[in-house]
Every structure is written in structure tokens, then in C-alpha cells.
Amino acid sequence: MDFYSISSNLLYTAFVIYFIATIFFGATIRSKEESGKSSRAAAVGITLTIIGFIAQLGYFIFRWIAAGHAPVSNLFEFTTFFGMMLVFAFIIIYFLYKLNILGLFALPVAMIIIGYASMFPQELSPLIPALKTHWLYIHVTTAGLGEAILAVSFAAGLIYLIKKVDQSKLNLKTFSLEFVLYMIFATLGFILVTLTFNAMDYEVAFEYRENGEETTTEYHLPAIVAPYDSTMITEDRFGPLFETPAWMEGKEAGRKLNTFIWSLLGGLVLHAFTMLLLRKRVAKALQPLLNKVNLDIVDEIMYRSVAIGFPVFTLGALIFAAIWAQVAWNRFWGWDPKEVWALVTWFFYAAFLHLRLSRGWHGEKSAWLAVIGFAIIMFNLIAVNLVLFGLHSYA
Amino acid sequence: MNKIKCECGHVNPEGTVLCEACGKPVEKNQHIDGNEKNKLLNMRYDGSARRSQTYNKTIVDKTWNFFSSVKVGVWLIVLALVASAIGTIFPQEMYIPRSVDPSQYYRDEYGIFGQLYYELGFHNLYGSWWYILLIALIGVSLVICSIDRVVPLHRALKNQRPKRHEVFIQRQRLFGKTEKVSKDDIKTFIEQLRKKNYKISEDQGHVLAEKNRFSRWGPYVNHIGLIIILIGAILRFFPFMYVDEFVFVREGETKVIPGTNQQYYIENKDFILELYDPEEEEKFAEAIVQEGGMVPKNFQTNAVIYQVKGEVVPGAEPELEKMKEGEIRVNEPLKFNGYALYQSQYQLNEFKSMSFKLHPADNPDDAIGTFTFDMTDPKKEYDLGNGYRVVVDQYFPELKLENGVPSSESNYPRNPAFIFFVYGPDIEERETSFLAIGANIDPGEDNRYKLSLDGVEMRDVTGLAVQKDRTLPIFAAGAIIFMIGVVQGMYWQHRRIWIHPKEQGVWIAAHTNKNWHGLKRDIKSALDQTSINPPEDQQELS
Ligand code: HEM
């Protein structure tokens, strides 16, 4: 077996192990012991998590050997790395607080992120000149780690909200919380839809002009929305129902919008189906599972992970990024959309920390902020690449 | 100033919330930190007097109070956040093609919203006066709020007395009573704390165990770092600190380097572009093919830098002295005397010169004369001998045809076209010829003579960024100080434990500025061998 296949297999293994670890963390809910104390299920859960993490580390190292450069240079690689760092951050926080329920939320989020990443092209790709510097690896890995630690506060925030928000009536709060869960379903929807149509080898091609050049693009999902001003060149295919608006400029905007719509629809179906099975909102169904959770600890984890993640994020996403930009483009700051969104993230968590200085922003309010912060991180990780365009466009 | 004397005898400055010495709440000032409504004391700066909470009469007071408010600070940060995000909705002006008019570009590309974006000035958002003002206000707020608090913090940390008032002890978040306790248990407790690196001070049996006090200075250190960064940003407006220019140099050309006071010249000896070869880099083959086979591997300019010898005389041809020769690649600038040249853009195959020959329209082999149009040194007229001459009526370096009307896209000879007038002894008035690469245009009515392209010379153009940046060390210093500050404030916490003896028993109270879990763990494990009750958390969120 070559390094590349070893690496891919290790990633697959890690994923499966995380899955089993999650089940063990799930089992801790039923145990009589109070959260915070270790139980046997929890011990197995965390051990498996560590083994899974080591397997994924193996994926990373072998892929590095195979490519000859650190595998953080395209969307698949970076997003996978982010998932790995999320597991790492979870392990650290777990040993600080021993909160089992955190595993039940953090690991699935990490798995969904890794699953999401795997939907992007996975071939090894060469580095363009601007990426050929060690600062790239240093910047991307540190930024990824920082974002992952910050993301732990999202997992904690979610636990806090599911337990705290009063589910007896439908209002803005319950709706927003359910919407957050829906976004997770939409990511799942994206994965399932992509896998399904890939298995069917579905293809439909369009011809259109991009930057004045005749281009064709291939969709691997049925076309709900076609590229702007395009013609379908595959016969006998479904759709398209409408066209991408002209102002969506990015590379292959049509295909990305189509995928996005499919994900939202897929998520809608999954979410609706789940609610039908549970006969109530998902958050409401989850609430009783969190009966034993001590909100003070959860609040503290939420804050602590921001406190730990903020310096790492600053170092990686701003300072190392600036050094890299200085080395590569002779300007350490260029107001590129990706840079700006790193700044937005930084401002956001700075605001979070300052708000925490006053009592009133502890607890629920700060849990909502943790959720918003994660949304900003994911926006920067994914949407900026797909929607806005700039120097960093990996995809 | 109205000093406040506490029952313990200590004299506190006006505005004090908790007595600096014993911690007893100062009755009339409890509203300042909102203590009257709460069971727990607000321990911010241990209740020391803060200027912003004490005076509010003059305009100076009011400005000071405005900027020292964290609420205002957070609002400024949130505004900056939102503004920054808006700037990414459409590309900023610097990222749109150079050749187009921004006022049209935004409307054409993004419709009515694009036009609005442009008219509101969002196309140049980060350089707009209001964005800069916003950042400057954050700076002002940082300075004022730090000064406002660093004074009370200093006072609070200076006055760390072990003996505290009962009320102070009882109203801490972590507080516990033990009715009966042995002296040995207290000793063990203290010893354990000492082992955990707590510093112990004692006063009449009252003990204060304290650790990581330095972490309280973290925010101030990081704010100083931020202020230094902002100062660096201001200095960029001065040319002696910062130069950022750009120059295109053609192969074989020697050009003055902009931004260097005419002191330095550069010669472009050769420009090289290498692509990844899918045959050679097999492992990347698939990805290369996906990119259409054009994945660049290296851009490089082989350059020579010259320095002007002696004084620079305006108008006179300078005498150049070779100073340095080197290769410029992406990520590998060529540096000289504080300046750096970076590989930034390129243009392949620009026209250097074009040769034409004049011949009878029906016989291309019978040349009457030839001439060469040199793009770097264009002439108005070319003499072909024997009374024939060609006058350049119009020259379009980069031809653009709109409704059949020619114009030029830019001044760079990427797609040259000409309108020539041909004069000769046997030509009545003159004959007009239109010549362009690729565009096959009818030579016109019934010209007797025709001009044909005889040969071309091409060359590459390299685009280099010229930089001098003396502000870099300032930014670097600011960034390092910021990092030291945040790490100091975030990765360590100031923990304090008060041991308050009672007749038979003991009261224990504890405070930390963050990470209560860690503090509880410290106390719990230090009390492990004793019969003292661990203090309870008096705050419950749920
Ligand atoms: C983008 C700008 C800013 C950044 C990145 C920043 C960063 C920080 C950080 C990391 C902390 C430590 C927080 C903690 O320990 O939880 C802090 C504390 C603080 N900041 Fe800022 N800050 C900024 C702007 C401001 C502004 C404008 C104000 C003015 C109102 C301000 C006032 C404070 C105060 C009062 C503290 C608490 C100090 C203490 O606990 O002794 N900050 N800041």
C-alpha cells in the first residue's frame, strides 16, 4: 500500500472510532453517577477518542509524506484538519473538566465536519508559488487549532441552551435553537445527498461564459439552479428550475449555489423526519437527557475555551497570517475577505470577553454568543471560500 | 476630596466601594458596583475608587467616563466588526480590474446594490474617514479605559491585607464555615497551599494565600500592545516610514525604481515562468489536469539593481553603478538598502517591436521598403527611401473595437493596431492602411500599395512591488506585547484564599478573576487531609 492509501484508510478508521466513542459518551447519560465523576463508559469513551485522534494524526502524517507538503492546502485538507483539532481541543478540555456530556456534542460536530470535508476533491494537489513557505503551515495549523478551541465553546453553549431554554412554548428562542440544530441537519443533508448522487454517477453539464471565456461545468447533483446565462448540454436531465443571479460571481457560483440549495432541502427533510419520529422539536427531545448537567460547569467551559482559544486564534489567524502575507505578498495586511473575516472573528470574541466582565452576560446570553461565534468561524471556513472571492480561495 | 474613614481606621479616597484595608463595604457607595442588590460583592478592582465612577461634573469628566465605559468599548468593537464585514460583500476597489471605471464596474457587475455600495463609499471602506475614525475611537477608548482602571488595580493589589472584615469574607462567591477546627488542620491547609505555589501572608492569625497576581496586569499589557499597533498604523501615513510602489519592467529595459528619490534603477534581464509538468510530477497529475494543465510552479525575474553615482541632477542622464544582481521570486524578494522588490505580476509576450514592409497591393514579394515600429520608442513618421514614407496616424497599444470604432484598452502593447498614412511619389494624396494582429480589416477602397507585417519581437514584462517599511518593527513589537498580555491574562488566574479564624472554628473565603473550577480544585485538594469544610459556591446560574 502506498502512503496515500494508508493515509486515507487511517482517516476512515479515525472516523469510525469517533463514532464508537460517541456511543460510549452517550451511555454515560444513563449511568447513576453525577457528571464530573468518571464512569467506566466515560473512560472507554475518552480512550477511544484518543485512539481515534492518533489514527487521524497518522492520516495527517502519511498524507504529508505522500504530498511532500503539509496537508492543509485545500478545502478538504484544511477542513479535515479543523475536525482533528476540534477533537484535540475536546480532549484537553475533557481532562480539565471531566464533563462527559461534552463528548456527546463535541465528537459528533467533529465527525460532521470531517464528513463534510470528505465531500470535496481529495486528490493531492500541488502548491502554487504563494503557498510555498513554512509560514503557510504554521499559520493554517495554528489558526485551525485556535478556531477548534473556540468551537468547543459552541458545543458547551449548545448544551447550555438545550438544557436552559424553556421548551414549553414556541417562541424566538426555541425557534432559534431549533434553527441551529437544523443547520447541523443541513450539513448532514449535504453529505447524504452528495454521497447518494455520487453513487449513482449522476452528471449534468452546462456551458456558459466565465470571465469572457467559454466554460463548461459539471454538476454531480440534479440541477435546481443553472449557472447564469448557461445552456444545459447533457440531454434528458432534470431541471434546471431557475438560474443563478448575475451578481454571484465566484468561480463555479452556479454549481455551488445548487449544492447549497440541495443541502438546505436535504436538511429540511432529515429534520422534519426526525421531528416526526420524536413527535417534538429536536431540542425539546434532547432536553431530558441533560437533566443531570450542572450549568455552572458548562458556563465555565464555554468561557474557558474562549479564554484558551482566543490567544491561539490571535497568534495563528492574525499574527502568523500577517507574517505569511508579508513574506508572500510583501504586505502583512491586505483587506482580503478571508483576512477581514478573521478580523471579524477576532473582534467578536474580544467583544465576548469584554461582555463577560459584566455579570449579566454570563450564562444564557453568553451561550448564544458562543453559538454566533461558531457561525462566524464556519462562515469564514466555508462560505468565504465559496461565496466571496479572494486570494485564499482554496476551492 | 472627601476622604472616607473606615471603622478599621484606614482612610480611603473618595469613590471607594470596599475599604482598601479590611474590605468592609463603604455604605454610601454600594450603588457604584451594584452591590446593594446582590448577596455577593462585586470584586472588580476590589472596590477601589475609579475616576470614571467618582466624578461626573465637567465635560472632561463626561468624556472620560464615556470612553472608559466597557459598554462603549464593546459597542465600538461591534461597530468595527459590522463595518469590516460589510466591506466584504462586494470586492474592494483594489481588487477590481484596474482598467475599468469603478463607478461603472459596481453598477454593471452587481446592479442596483452595487451602485449603492459604490455611492456610499463602501468600495473603499477600509480607507474611508469614518472607518479610520472608528478604529481611532477604539484606540482612544483603550487608552482612557486602561488608565481609568490601572490606578485602582494598582491600589487594590498593593493593599492585600490578610485580615478582612467579616462582611467581606461572607460575601465572597466561595465561602465556607467550619465550627470546630484544630490548629493542625489549619496548618496543614496552609502548608498544602504553599506547596501549590500560593504565597502566604499572615496577620494576627488571619491568613491570605495568593497566587499569580501578575496575571491581573495581562489586559493592560495587551492593551498597550494594541496601542503600539495603532501607532504603527498611523506612522504608515509618513513616507519616510513607509513606501509602497509598483513598477512594470520589460525584458531588457532599465527603469528608475519609484519611491526611491530617483536613487535606484532596475534592469530586467529575463522573466521566467515555469509550469508544473504533469509528466514529471505524477502524483499531482490529476489535479493539474483539472486546472486545465496550467498550474504555475515558479515566477522569476532576473534583475540587476543600479545606484546613481553622485548627485541626482534633474533632467540629466544619470550615471549608474551596478550594485546588486539577483533573482526575484514569489516569497523571495530582492533586498537592498532597506528596500525590497517583490515579484507581484507579470505579462507574457508583450510586443517589443513590429516590422512592416510596403509593397504593391498585387505583389507581396516586391518590397519597396521596410520599417520597424519600436513600442518603446515610437516615431511619428518612417522614411522608406525613394520618396516613400509612412506616417503613423494612430497607434492603439491594446486594440478594442466597439461598434467598429477602434480604441485602446490600455497603454500596454498587448494587442497593437495602427492606422498608417502612406505617401509616395506615385500616390496622389495618401493611402490609408489599418493594421492589427488577427483583425482582418479591409485595406480600403483601391489602394495601390499595401503594408504587411514582416516580423515581430516579443518580450515579457515583470511587475514588481517596491517596498520600504520601517513600521514593521513597531507592528512586530505591538503584536508580541499583545500576545504576552493575553497569555498572561488568560493562562494564569489571580487566586486568593482568605483564612479567617473564629473562636473555635474557621471561615474560608476565596476569589479568582476567572477559572473558578481550578480554584475549587486547589482548595479541595489542599483540604483533603483536614476536617475543614470546603467552601461552597454561593453563586448558582441555573
Ligand atoms: C479590539 C480591541 C480590544 C481587544 C482585543 C481587547 C482585549 C482584551 C482582553 C483579551 C482582555 C482580557 C479579558 C479577560 O481577561 O477576560 C481585556 C480586558 C479588558 N479590556 Fe480590552 N480589548 C480591546 C478593547 C478594549 C476597549 C476599547 C476597552 C475600553 C472600554 C477595553 C477595556 C477592557 C477592560 C476594562 C478590561 C478588563 C481589565 C481587567 O480585568 O482588569 N478593551 N481586553
CB A21 within 8 A of CB A48: yes
B88 Cβ under 8 Å from any chain A Cβ: yes
Residue in chain A closest to B107 (alpha carbons) equals A247
B 178-237 residues with CB < 8 A to A: none
H or E segment and range at residue B286: helix B285-290
In a domain, B439, yes or no: yes
The verdict on the CB of residue B301 being under 6 Å from ligand 1 is no
CA of A357 to the centre of ligand 1 (A): 9
Q: How far is residue B198's CA from residue B163's CA, in Å, rounded to a whole number?
A: 17
Written as tens digits, the pLDDT of chain A (395 aa) is: 688 888 889 999 999 999 999 999 988 887 655 544 557 888 999 999 999 999 999 999 999 988 888 888 888 898 999 999 999 999 999 999 888 899 999 999 999 999 988 888 888 877 766 666 788 889 999 999 999 999 999 999 999 999 988 888 888 989 999 999 999 999 899 888 888 888 888 888 887 776 667 777 888 888 888 777 777 777 777 777 777 776 666 667 777 788 888 889 999 999 999 999 988 888 888 888 888 888 888 999 999 999 999 999 999 999 999 998 887 777 788 888 889 999 999 999 999 999 988 777 888 999 999 999 999 999 888 777 665 544 343 33
Q: SS3 for A36? A: coil
* Boundary (domain end) residue, out of B157, B185, B220: B157
Same domain as B265, residue B296: yes
In a domain, B269, yes or no: yes
Instruction: Give the model confidence (pLDDT) of B73-85 as tens digits.
Output: 999 999 999 999 9
How many domains in chain B? Answer: 5
The pLDDT assigned to B77 comes to 95
The pTM of the full predicted model, rounded to 2 decimals, is 0.82
The pLDDT assigned to A393 comes to 39
Amino acid at A227: P
The verdict on the CB of residue B230 being under 6 Å from ligand 1 is no
The CATH number covering residue B172 comes to 3.30.310
**Residue span of the structural domain in which B503 resides:** 164-212+493-541
Instruction: Give the model confidence (pLDDT) of B474-514 as tens digits.
Output: 999 999 999 999 999 999 999 999 999 988 889 999 999 88
For the segment B404-412, the average pLDDT, to the nearest whole number, is 80
Same domain as B438, residue B384: yes
Q: How far is residue A319's CA from residue B55's CA, in Å, rounded to a whole number?
A: 39
Same domain as B60, residue B137: yes
Same domain as B446, residue B358: yes
CB B161 within 8 A of CB B169: no
Q: How far is residue B89's CA from residue B106's CA, in Å, rounded to a whole number?
A: 12
In a domain, B230, yes or no: no
Residue in chain B closest to A293 (alpha carbons) equals B542
The verdict on the CB of residue B530 being under 6 Å from ligand 1 is no
The verdict on the CB of residue B483 being under 6 Å from ligand 1 is no
Return the number of other C-beta atoms located less than 10 Å from residue B278's C-beta.
Answer: 16
Q: How far is residue A218's CA from residue B394's CA, in Å, rounded to a whole number?
A: 46
Same domain as B118, residue B249: no
H or E segment and range at residue B455: strand B449-469
How far is the first Cα of chain B from the last one, in angstroms, to the nearest whole number? 43
Query: What is the ipTM, given to two decimal places?
Result: 0.90
With beta carbons under 8 A apart, name residues in chain A contacting B72.
none
The CA distance from A333 to the nearest CA of chain B, in Å, is: 11
Same domain as B68, residue B28: no
In a domain, B359, yes or no: yes
The pLDDT assigned to A395 comes to 33
CA of A306 to the centre of ligand 1 (A): 14
The verdict on the CB of residue B141 being under 6 Å from ligand 1 is yes
* Boundary (domain end) residue, out of B127, B142, B157: B157
Amino acid at A118: S
The verdict on the CB of residue A277 being under 6 Å from ligand 1 is no
The CA distance from B378 to the nearest CA of chain A, in Å, is: 31
pLDDT(B49) > 80: yes
The pLDDT assigned to B442 comes to 58
In a domain, B373, yes or no: yes
Same domain as B286, residue B250: yes
A contact test, residue of B283, B289, B400 with most A CBs within 10 A: B283
**Ligand 1 pocket test target in B142, B150, B228, B492 with most atoms within 8 Å of CB:** B142
The verdict on the CB of residue B509 being under 6 Å from ligand 1 is no
The verdict on the CB of residue B219 being under 6 Å from ligand 1 is yes
Same domain as B394, residue B303: no
Q: Which of A55-59, A257-261, B108-112, B467-471 has the lowest mean pLDDT?
A: B108-112
What grid cell was written down for B251?
Answer: 525584458
Question: What is the number of alpha carbons within 13 Å of residue B453 lying toward its C-beta?
Answer: 15
Burial class (CB in 10 A: 0-12, 13-18, 19+), B504: exposed
Nearest CA among B55, B54, B35 for reference residue B46: B35
Residue corresponding to grid cell 513618421: B381
The pLDDT assigned to B439 comes to 60
**Ligand 1 pocket test target in B46, B72, B82, B145 with most atoms within 8 Å of CB:** B145
In a domain, B133, yes or no: yes
Sign of the Cα pseudo-torsion (B91, B94, B100, B102, in order): positive
Q: How far is residue B12's CA from residue B18's CA, in Å, rounded to a whole number?
A: 9
Residue among A67, A300, A354 minimizing CB distance to B517: A300
Strand-by-strand arrangement of the A213-219 sheet: A213-219, A204-210, A231-232
Phi and psi, residue B467, nearest 5°: -135, 140
pLDDT(B185) > 70: yes
Same domain as B194, residue B283: no
CB B397 within 8 A of CB B408: yes
| B111–A330 C-beta distance less than 8 A | no
Give bridge partners of residue B382 from the DSSP assignment: B390
The verdict on the CB of residue A233 being under 6 Å from ligand 1 is no
Residue corresponding to grid cell 485538594: B525
Looking at every residue in chain B, the average pLDDT score rounds to 85
A 169-188 residues with CB < 8 A to B: none
The pLDDT assigned to B522 comes to 92
Same domain as B469, residue B330: yes
Q: Which of A342-356, B14-28, B271-285, B471-485 has the lowest mean pLDDT?
A: B271-285
The pLDDT assigned to A269 comes to 93
| A130–B111 C-beta distance less than 8 A | no
CB B418 within 8 A of CB B453: no
H or E segment and range at residue B129: helix B129-158
What letter does residue A131 receive in the DSSP assignment?
Answer: G
In a domain, B488, yes or no: no
The verdict on the CB of residue B53 being under 6 Å from ligand 1 is no
pLDDT(B259) > 90: no
A357 Cβ under 8 Å from any chain B Cβ: yes
Q: How far is residue B502's CA from residue A176's CA, in Å, rounded to a whole number?
A: 52
In a domain, B120, yes or no: yes
A contact test, residue of B486, B494, B524, B537 with most A CBs within 10 A: B486
What letter does residue B27 receive in the DSSP assignment?
Answer: G
For the segment B332-357, the average pLDDT, to the nearest whole number, is 85
Same domain as B174, residue B120: no
Nearest atom in ligand 1 to the alpha carbon of residue B67 is 30
Q: How far is residue B314's CA from residue B124's CA, in Å, rounded to a whole number?
A: 36
* Boundary (domain end) residue, out of B122, B157, B192: B157
Strand-by-strand arrangement of the B296-308 sheet: B254-256, B264-275, B296-308, B320-329
A126 Cβ under 8 Å from any chain B Cβ: yes
B112 Cβ under 8 Å from any chain A Cβ: no
pLDDT(B1) > 60: no
B483 Cβ under 8 Å from any chain A Cβ: yes
Q: How far is residue B320's CA from residue B256's CA, in Å, rounded to a whole number?
A: 11
Q: C-alpha B52: how far from its chain's center?
A: 32
Q: How far is residue A165's CA from residue B534's CA, in Å, rounded to a whole number?
A: 32
Nearest atom in ligand 1 to the alpha carbon of residue B216 is 41
Nearest alpha carbon, ligand 1 atom 32 = B70
Q: List Cβ neighbours of B79 (8 Å cut-off, separation of 6 or more).
A: B134
Nearest alpha carbon, ligand 1 atom 6 = A350
H or E segment and range at residue B65: helix B59-68
Nearest CA among A229, A222, A260 for reference residue A243: A229
Same domain as B467, residue B529: no
What grid cell was written down for B120?
Answer: 456610499
A300 Cβ under 8 Å from any chain B Cβ: yes
Residue among B110, B296, B331 minimizing CB distance to A327: B331
Q: How far is residue B226's CA from residue B66's CA, in Å, rounded to a whole number?
A: 20
The pLDDT assigned to B441 comes to 62
H or E segment and range at residue B207: strand B206-211
**Start-end of H helices in chain A:** 3-27, 40-67, 75-97, 100-117, 134-164, 172-199, 253-278, 282-286, 295-313, 321-329, 337-356, 364-378, 384-386
